[in-house]
Amino acid sequence: MKIATYNVENLFDLQITKYRYKEYRPNTNALWNKKHYKIKLQNIAKVIKDIDADIIALQEIGSLKALKDLRFELKKQGLYYQYFSIANKKPTSIKVALLSKVPFVYSKDLAVTHSYKYRNILEAKFKINSQNLYIFNNHWKAKSGPESMRIVSAKKNSAPV
């Protein structure tokens, strides 16, 4: 079994939301448009296809639509992930997600705090050869922010399952 992680660096769809970074507002001077979105989807899909993991944790997914568009592009390129999940319960600019060839026992958002400054963690449980496998997909505050924010997220990961 191969498990991987991949930061897709701001995979935003073309929907207009108030949580979007200004560089990714669709069809503006930012040049984020259908052409660039399609190219980004194709490039990310090519990398994921080359990795060919059974389970892949993704960071910086902008929305459920972006995740579904990526799954569709992967399928066009010959790689199908039947199972997917996204930490989508908090209105943040970017989220974490999972694509899997293996069914989930469950997946759920773990709120680090109620603040929008902290992204939710995606917890997923799998049953592999009668063994439980837990994956916690995180995307913490960048090092440009205070270390104390990263510690808050780390402590949430150390909580008992």
**Euclidean distance between CA atoms 44 and 50, whole angstroms:** 10
| Residue 161 confidence (pLDDT) | 53
Residue by residue, DSSP assigns 102-141 as: SPPSEEEEE-S-SSTTSPPEEEEEEEETTEEEEEEE--PP
- The dotted CATH code for 3-157 is 3.60.10.10
**Euclidean distance between CA atoms 85 and 96, whole angstroms:** 9
Summarised one tens digit per residue, pLDDT across range 97-110 is 999 999 999 999 99
Number of H helices, E strands in the chain: 3, 7
**Euclidean distance between CA atoms 3 and 128, whole angstroms:** 12
Summarised one tens digit per residue, pLDDT across range 73-96 is 999 999 999 999 999 988 888 999
**Residues 6+ positions from 136 with CB-CB distance below 8 Å:** 110, 121, 122, 123, 157
Q: What is the mean pLDDT of the chain?
A: 89
Domain residue extents for the chain? 3-157
Tokens of 138: 């995180």
DSSP letter at 142 equals P
In this prediction, residue 129 has a pLDDT band, given cuts at 50, 70 and 90, of very high
Strand, helix or coil for residue 95: strand
